[in-house]
Amino acid sequence: MAQPDPDLLIEFDDVLLRRGGNTLVGPVSWKVELDEKWVILGPNGAGKTSLLRIAAAEVHPTSGTAHLLAETLGRVDVNELRPRIGLSSSALASRVPADERVSDLVVSAGYAVLGRWRERYDDLDTERAIEMLESLGAEHLAERTFGTLSEGERKRVLIARALMTDPELLLLDEPAAGLDLGGREDLVARLTDLAADPDSPATVLVTHHVEEIPPGFTHAMLLGDGAVVAQGLLDDVVTAENLSTTFQQEILLDRADDRFFARRARTPGRHRR
Nearer to ligand ATP, 49 or 246 (CB): 49
Q: Which residues pair with 230 in a beta bridge?
A: 222
Query: Taking CB under 6 A as the criterion, which residues in 195-214 touch ligand ATP?
Result: 208
Nearer to ligand ATP, 32 or 164 (CB): 32
Identify which of 204, 207, 220 has the alpha carbon closest to the alpha carbon of residue 179. 207
Query: Taking CB under 6 A as the criterion, which residues in 94-133 touch ligand ATP?
Result: none
Q: How near is the Cβ of 155 to ligand ATP at its closest, in Å?
A: 15
Nearer to ligand ATP, 25 or 132 (CB): 25
Query: Taking CB under 6 A as the criterion, which residues in 12-71 touch ligand ATP?
Result: 19-20, 22, 24-25, 42, 44-50
Q: How near is the Cβ of 225 to ligand ATP at its closest, in Å?
A: 9
Q: How near is the Cβ of 16 to ligand ATP at its closest, in Å?
A: 12
Contact between 24 and 224 under an 8 Å Cβ cutoff? The reply is no
Residues in the interface with ligand ATP (CB under 6 A) total 14
CA dihedral 68, 69, 73, 79 (to 10 degrees): -120
Interatomic CA distance for residues 120 and 256, integer angstroms: 48
Q: How near is the Cβ of 181 to ligand ATP at its closest, in Å?
A: 20
State residue 14 phi and psi, 5-degree precision. 50, 40
Q: How near is the Cβ of 104 to ligand ATP at its closest, in Å?
A: 29
231 interacts with ligand ATP by CB under 6 A: no
Nearer to ligand ATP, 51 or 170 (CB): 51
Cα diameter, the chain: 65
Nearer to ligand ATP, 42 or 214 (CB): 42
Nearer to ligand ATP, 102 or 243 (CB): 243
Q: How near is the Cβ of 14 to ligand ATP at its closest, in Å?
A: 17
Q: How near is the Cβ of 193 to ligand ATP at its closest, in Å?
A: 26
Q: Counting Cβ atoms within 10 Å, is residue 202 exposed (0-12), middle (13-18) or buried (19+)?
A: buried
Interatomic CA distance for residues 244 and 143, integer angstroms: 45
Nearer to ligand ATP, 45 or 232 (CB): 45
Q: How near is the Cβ of 51 to ligand ATP at its closest, in Å?
A: 7
Q: What is the DSSP string of 166-208?
A: --SEEEEESTTTT--HHHHHHHHHHHHHHHH-TTSPEEEEEES
In the complex, the residues that contact ligand ATP under the rule CB under 6 A are 19-20, 22, 24-25, 42, 44-50, 208
